[in-house]
Amino acid sequence: MKKLIILGAFILTAGLVNAQTQTKKANQRQGNQKERIKQGVKSGELTKKETKQVVKQQRDIRKTKKAAKADGVVTKKEKAIINKKQNKANRNIKRKKNNGKSRK
């Protein structure tokens, strides 16, 4: 019985680690976007309203990734959805940083 519990825990852990590595590229992109947002706030390129909007978008992406990892496997469809959301967020950050509005 003890061996069965240990085996079950091992399989569960392996599945979670696998799900984590399946979103490695998405995690890297998310980190890059976070740094671009910080830089935009620091330089004044992003207004408070714009910052709230892009941060909300990043939160939505994190929730989507968490839901995708919940079952231990990130499918191609889930990866595509995450990628699409990150592409949209990337364009949004770029637009907002270069729209001429500045933090007052």
The pTM of the full predicted model, rounded to 2 decimals, is 0.76
Cα–Cα nearest to 78, from 59, 63, 58: 63
Whether 42 maps to a domain, the answer reads yes
Compute how many other C-beta atoms are within 10 angstroms of the C-beta atom of residue 37.
22
Q: Does 102 reside within a domain?
A: no
Q: Tens of pLDDT along the chain (104 residues)?
A: 666 666 566 665 655 555 656 788 989 999 999 999 999 999 999 999 999 999 999 999 999 999 999 999 999 999 999 999 999 999 999 999 999 888 76
> How many domains does the chain contain in total?
1
Domain that holds residue 86: 2-97
In a domain, 104, yes or no: no
